[in-house]
Amino acid sequence: MRSINPATEDVIETYDEHDEPTVSARLDEAWREFESWRTKPIERREALLADVADVLRENADEYATRMTTEMGKPIEQAVAEVEKCAWVCEYYAEHAAEFLQNDRIGTVPGSKTYVSYEPIGPVLAVMPWNYPFWQVFRFAAPHITAGNVAVLKHAPNVFGCARAIESVFERAGYPSGVFTSLQIPAERVSTLIEDDRIKGVSLTGSTRAGRAVAETSGHELKPTVLELGGSDPFIVLDDAPIERAAKQGAKARTQNNGQSCIAAKRFLVHETVYDEFLERFTEEMNALTVGDPSKAQTDIGPQARADLLESLHEQVTRSVVSGATLHLGGKPLDQAGYYYPPTILTDVPDDAPAATEELFGPVATVLKVETEQEAIRVANDTPYGLGASIWTGDTERGEALTQKITAGNVFVNQVVASDPRVPFSGTKASGHGTELSHHGIQEFVTKKTIWIDEVSDSV
């Protein structure tokens, strides 16, 4: 399994696949450590997590460079990703005990009744390449601190990031086995889920991968959290702040080289402001710097792999053949590396790939809508339901519309983002289960009812 620098197409490193004895030995170690780790006071687990935040910040440049080299993320965004990982660790280091304290429930006089939150065991994390540190830490920070242990199956093109994350926990002083990384291909995940030593599964990835994991996990009766794909609408109403919406829209579409599940992908613009928005949005997209992701001035780096570049361009080409207008970009750059320029498609037919599929790259679909009602209809006319953003000068109007959009996350006058303080989840084909906040930390615990009656001599 090879890791290739997408900016140069040079091979970074070749990794040997872990054989079955190696995988089994690591699972045995994880299970043995769980029996000890679960009994440690949560205050000790919180303290170790705070140390993880320190390790991340002390080595931020090293980890950011690793991300940029392996999957092409612009270096400043990579540094910001490391900082966000430190933030989620600090958040749960401060709040985990509060979120998992016994929940006392009044029942009858003389009885003590409450709910305790108890860890379930080793939890498998199947994680993607696009946010190779953040996706792992937003899983690991809450669930390890809850008393579980983590088994990571990372994407092969970012195995170097997986090894670096292992070293973070080692440097912070975690016992061996609390965080384990496996170098295996996707084809072996089902067998891993079926293993009795795995007690739950969290996956961030495609809807196809989510269905496969859900099928196996369901058969094994194991809990899952699935954060899957998205085709997020970016709704620009007739009273929207156009300049800000255009600027933030370009950022929302192209951040992380456009390779984000919660990126704004379909721009639904009211006809009265359509021309103005398209003009400003085009200016913003055209002004972005495409180039070497290791340079601070770069806004958009390469796509993460050659096949991803090819698939993206094929979707754009099929959309144009279907009748869409290529307003900007639309052709891979003629140079080394997997570079695709900021691209805008307009006049997109309802059945074109740009309207019906997730485009995982810096390609925006801009659609004209006649009314607010049409904007909501088109926003919901997708199998996905991850995020959405609404832009309007009337926040009450925007808030009212949030109730009409079928998505797990809806933002008004702000781009969709994950934040440790609030829950993050999808609906429909975008998955199920919750990450982050106090909701997320309770996904892989047993909510155990405890009922204690006082001893009495009466019969």
Q: Write down the catalytic residue from 70, 90, 227, 358.
A: 227
Task: Verify that 46 and 134 share a domain, yes or no.
Answer: yes
- Letter for the amino acid at 435? E
Q: What is the CATH number of the domain that holds 249?
A: 3.40.309.10
Question: What's the structural domain count of the chain?
Answer: 2
Task: Verify that 27 and 117 share a domain, yes or no.
Answer: yes
For the segment 53-59, the average pLDDT, to the nearest whole number, is 98
Nearest to 84 by CA among 152, 151, 20, 132: 132
Report the interhelical angle of 42-58 vs 159-171 (nearest 10°).
120
Task: Verify that 349 and 333 share a domain, yes or no.
Answer: yes
Q: Is 261 a catalytic residue?
A: yes
Q: Is 227 a catalytic residue?
A: yes
| Both structure tokens of 20 | 């079955």
For 410-453, write each residue's pLDDT tens digit: 999 999 999 999 999 999 999 999 999 999 999 999 999 999 99
Task: Verify that 308 and 334 share a domain, yes or no.
Answer: yes
Percentage of the chain lying above the pLDDT 90 cut: 98
Q: Write down the catalytic residue from 261, 372, 435, 443.
A: 261
Query: Does residue 291 contact residue 298 with C-beta atoms inside 8 Å?
Result: yes
Task: Verify that 239 and 208 share a domain, yes or no.
Answer: no
pLDDT number for residue 455: 79
Task: Verify that 73 and 178 share a domain, yes or no.
Answer: yes
Three-class DSSP category at 458: coil
- CB half-sphere exposure, 326, CA atoms < 13 A: 15
For 81-134, write each residue's pLDDT tens digit: 999 999 999 999 999 999 999 999 999 998 999 999 999 999 999 999 999 999
The answer to whether residue 184 is domain-embedded is yes
The answer to whether residue 263 is domain-embedded is yes
The answer to whether residue 458 is domain-embedded is no
How far is the CA of 210 from the CAs of 84, 104, 126, 229, 347, in angstroms?
Answer: 25, 36, 10, 9, 32
Residue 457: pLDDT band with limits 50, 70, 90: low
Q: Which domain holds residue 66?
A: 2-228+430-450
For 306-333, write each residue's pLDDT tens digit: 999 999 999 999 999 999 999 999 999 9
The answer to whether residue 148 is domain-embedded is yes
Query: Does residue 411 contact residue 399 with C-beta atoms inside 8 Å?
Result: no
Which residues partner with 236 through β-bridges? Answer: 269, 391
Q: What is the CATH number of the domain that holds 180?
A: 3.40.605.10
Task: Verify that 176 and 289 share a domain, yes or no.
Answer: no
Task: Verify that 86 and 219 share a domain, yes or no.
Answer: yes
For 146-161, write each residue's pLDDT tens digit: 999 999 999 999 999 9
Residue 454: pLDDT band with limits 50, 70, 90: confident
The answer to whether residue 90 is domain-embedded is yes
Per DSSP, the residues of 106-169 read --STTEEEEEEEEE-SEEEEE--SSSTTHHHHHHHHHHHHTT-EEEEE--GGGHHHHHHHHHHH
The answer to whether residue 425 is domain-embedded is no
The answer to whether residue 127 is domain-embedded is yes
The answer to whether residue 262 is domain-embedded is yes
Query: Does residue 410 contact residue 395 with C-beta atoms inside 8 Å?
Result: no
Task: Verify that 359 and 291 share a domain, yes or no.
Answer: yes
For 376-387, write each residue's pLDDT tens digit: 999 999 999 999
For 205-221, write each residue's pLDDT tens digit: 999 999 999 999 999 99
Task: Verify that 240 and 211 share a domain, yes or no.
Answer: no
